[in-house]
Chains A and B, each alone.
Chain A
């Protein structure tokens, strides 16, 4: 007890006396005393089958967020790792509270070798940017089949994990955003997914005649409509809309494209096309009202929606995705353009003991077997191409995703500022009020602008320039 106490005290005194940058107290001290911070660690021989030089008889410590996708897909890669590297073992640990669990380990210089930084309690990526390993070597490396990984990936999937030009996170799951609907219901009524907001309004009126709503939402997921609006406006006004927003520019929320979209949404709200009460409904319950109760026609979401609602979807629902509508019929980007992001961002901390092992597991995950296994068991595509057969394992949603991606080609975009600056909490407040009819298009733009301005003017928040 005395030894550590004096350690801790020394740390405290140093902390109290020093004025410049220094090592933190408590947890950090143990690592400082024993190694001084730089953890190169032992490395093995680099070869084609071992591109990162995983040392023999080493252990890889991976902490994986255990949410909707579980952790068995990483276990799958872990068992391949164990087979390929005799004597080494991959320890795959689940966590549901990434930030609370890992904070002391990051602060203490003892982070795991691989982290899936997801979930409601993920670590804000901007806080740890400079503590993360550059993952470019992973995508440059050859997969287990011998093809360079970067040649096997979908377009634009590395962008969400690239900050200041450095690839710090590889999003493993391909997520594309759109509006989702029941193909069987649309077919039965002769409806088609709207391509413009005018068409959407007409569809809303038709739904009303049938006693249904066009949209519904849940309180934790009001932000899905911000996603819808941003996608629509970026397609309408081109990439300049996105770049201005990403860099928190003045009046970036007042761009004409955004104004048109906000006004279109406002018109829907005022026309009663939204099922009332969403601001007091759990998003899971709201989604079930769409997928099971068919109370609304369209739901804007990411492609995780099928897996998320698989037990609460009406039989023969035939869930299908479509690109989001735009204000005009001649937007700057084609209608088929998509917001394609990523889910399950995997990171390798620079301070980790076995960085090579962490990267190696990522390499295995990005190879054919593991990626195909994921697509098959989770009914969701990974960022690796050609893992989903034509029948989509019998999933209409998965088939439509492949179609949407093919149609979009290079026209995919993504934005980072909302996550980067942790804006979700404030977004929810503003959007719940708007969808509830308590605000209007102009107020919405003002509120969002205020949010951006506040971050831009706060010198204590580190800004990341995004191209």
Chain B
């Protein structure tokens, strides 16, 4: 029994009796114990996992109805609430915070007999691209532990790539699912805004963020999406449209489809030569699959990084103002403080990146500056949306490298926020326009993974997964050496 099996193979193994949930979970926990000192994917581990697996095995044996995941281990980013457990957001501010309820995605998975194996590491409050901003130390890239795993859902990606979990849920505000998926050579999907409920996801930038599924195979991600997508009365931004079965017909291929290469994301000085060369290989693979490829320009893309950071810091400044240490927080006696100085003191528990973004977030919408920053950013967002909609009248898919650079070493970009922010240039467009996008692992070059990104139009996840599946079958990723 290998821990490297796909979700689909796991389910088949359970059904034909060749594996039991208990065996698989026990082996997974054993592997986690061995790998964690090196990888640090998790902030907490589910202590009841074995017992939960036994219960599921019992149900299977006695012929009772069993949920779709059959005791499969799924890891959850530590900004998504699981009742009774800690949800730290990798921040000292929430170190002792216990979730009072389950996120909707979590109740969905529980009701389908998934085993939530642990909570994964992230950049503090999901702000970063390397997990270097976690207050509890970074996660390490399982392909080469000297390199960052990407972020902010870095722990989720590491847990899946490092065989510590079959699937994972991350959250994607500007690429936080797709970036670590690309850096760790797994599949990561940012769904259409409103497809997946955000109830129980700790807010960073509500107007664009989404919870997204991550796995080693496109079909695994489709399976996970099947069980988290749909309307939720607790999140009024969720869409009412019916959700299809994302798994059926995933292998129909993309012959005759039209693909646009987004010029601003796929060329230029910021694009690493290795990434470019891998992307070219993916382009020829698409052509061999029978797709027609053409370049397309979305000129607003050059302003998206600035737009993204203006909008998200403004929302973060407002969202994070709730951490005043009265409702959440740590032991800090209020004796001797007046109200304002107490809160200022309490907020020293935010790490440097969160503090910077709060200051920026106070700045960009403030009187006298809103016209220069916030309102302009909103207008760029509007124009970008029109440009991408117009591109989708001509193309079925829009593609680019997921990240313009290769995974980098720890410390390489941490002192230069701008260099770090620019790594987001290819991923933020999907968030700003609400369209779905997926990162497909394509090659390992000199031991470092490179991913390819595909966008589809609003609510076209089914078609998006079909394209991802077709592309996945044109490449073979070598086995990971752990």
A binds B: no
Interface positions of A (Cβ within 8 A of B):
none
Question: What is the interface of chain B, defined by CB distance below 8 A to chain A?
Answer: none
